[in-house]
Amino acid sequence: MNEIRMVKPDDMHLHVRDGAIMATVIADTAKQFARAIIMPNLSKPIVNVVRAEAYYKDIKTATSELEPLMTLYFTNQLDINELERVKESQYIHGIKLYPAGVTTNSESGIDSINDCFPIFEMMEKKDIPLLIHGEVNDPSIDIFDREKVFIDKHLTNICAKFPSLRIVFEHISTKDAVDFVSNANQKVSATITPQHILLNRNDLLVGGIKPHNYCLPIVKRSSHQKAVLNAAISGNSKFFLGTDSAPHLRSQKESSCGCAGIYSARTALEFYAQIFDECNALDKLENFASKFGADFYGLPQNKSYITLIKKDYEIPGSILIENEELIPFYAGETLKWQLSSN
């Protein structure tokens, strides 16, 4: 197969930042995706409906080609009364939970999962999806084990206590997460990124640290990588596309911070096409990219279509943003698929 025509996909996990960088990353996403679930962890987090709706307008000012699906940042101060405003808003599609300190701009995140139970209960009643960065923030836990420990310590209990709460286990990176979601009820789903399919920890650490392959959850050993790949191509509707494309300028990546995040938005869909093609699973790509996520969020499927063609495409080595560089995922490498301009 040398050409795929498919319903225009949605990116169910996307960071677009704000300021100068936003215009570039939004334009890249809009070429491939009709809608995107927008993450709320800006340096000034999106903590209420008023701020989310203002952020929505900023994104729409940058492009009319992408429909942003907004989320709120779950803080210790989240008011139950705010959930009523969330439910009434036409723009907000979920609330994102970060344990405090687990990733970029997560300092305002949750200190105690158990203290969130009254909010979870109300979210369950109002059918507001809970989006979870599923890692513990305990510094004594090995960074490669933090997803599994979160499942064992928290997620199992949340799902048992709130069986009707819609949960998206974001950017899963382990066989443990794949198995958990597979065996959970139909209210539990997961997003899968290109980096957690294409990379394992050797790609991050062997031959020197590669900061542009650094993300959180950190990429794991190859057995976990294979499990995530198999989930993506399985045809199981619980697993759907979410790039977790998270841009940081080169100066932020190649620094003492080495900020966590991979910018895949430039060629995200092409990555997935190449992955599915190499696994003889192109017939599963449209459901994974265009249908399963929309169905889980209760959204209509998009009416527009895109076409991918099997033709070599060289990813640029860098993208210039106001005299600074943004390094895309697999910079300088050649992909076997590209988005048709027709």
Question: Percent of the chain at pLDDT above 70?
Answer: 100
Q: pLDDT grade, residue 148 (50/70/90)?
A: very high
CA distance 247 to 99: 21
Question: What are the angstrom distances between the C-alpha of 240 and each of 236, 255, 299, 322?
Answer: 9, 33, 14, 34
Q: pLDDT grade, residue 106 (50/70/90)?
A: confident
244 is catalytic: yes
In this prediction, residues 155-159 reach a mean pLDDT of 98
- pLDDT at residue 342 greater than cutoff 70: no
Nearest Cα residue to 42 out of 121, 96, 87: 96
- Residue 339 is predicted with a pLDDT of 96
Question: Percent of the chain at pLDDT above 90?
Answer: 94
Q: For the chain, which domains are there? A: 3-339 (3.20.20.140)
CA distance 11 to 103: 20
- Residue 297 is predicted with a pLDDT of 98
Per the structure block, which two tokens stand in for 311? 């033709």
Q: pLDDT grade, residue 341 (50/70/90)?
A: confident
The pTM score is 0.97
CA distance 93 to 298: 10
Task: Report whether 240 contacts 221 (CB < 8 A).
Answer: no
Q: pLDDT grade, residue 302 (50/70/90)?
A: very high
Task: Report whether 213 contacts 262 (CB < 8 A).
Answer: yes
pLDDT in tens, 246-300: 999 999 999 988 899 999 999 999 999 999 999 999 999 999 999 999 999 999 9
Q: Which of 23-27, 52-56, 127-131, 160-164 has the least mean pLDDT?
A: 23-27
- pLDDT at residue 101 greater than cutoff 90: no
- Residue 34 is predicted with a pLDDT of 98
Question: What are the angstrom distances between the C-alpha of 342 and each of 31, 80, 245, 246, 260?
Answer: 12, 48, 25, 28, 35
Q: pLDDT grade, residue 62 (50/70/90)?
A: very high
- pLDDT at residue 191 greater than cutoff 80: yes
User: Could you tell me if residue 105 is left (phi over 0), alpha (psi between -120 and 50 degrees) or otherwise beta?
Assistant: left
User: Could you tell me if residue 184 is left (phi over 0), alpha (psi between -120 and 50 degrees) or otherwise beta?
Assistant: beta
CA distance 116 to 75: 9
HEC readout, the chain = CCEEEEECCEEEEECCCCCHHHHHHHHHHHHHCCEEEECCCCCCCCCCHHHHHHHHHHHHHHCCCCEEEEEEEECCCCCHHHHHHHHHCCCEEEEEECECCCCCCCCCCECCCHHHHHHHHHHHHHCCCEEECCCCCCCCCCHHHHHHHHHHHHHHHHHHHCCCCCEEECCCCCHHHHHHHHHCCCCEEEEECCHHHHCCHHHHHCCCCCHHHCCCCCCCCHHHHHHHHHHHCCCCCCEEECCCECCCEHHHHCCCCCCCCECCHHHHHHHHHHHHHHCCCHHHHHHHHHHHHHHHCCCCCCCCEEEEECCCEECCCCEEECCEEECCCCCCCEECCEECCC
Task: Report whether 68 contacts 61 (CB < 8 A).
Answer: no
- pLDDT at residue 166 greater than cutoff 70: yes
Q: Determine which one of 244, 277, 283, 295 is catalytic.
A: 244
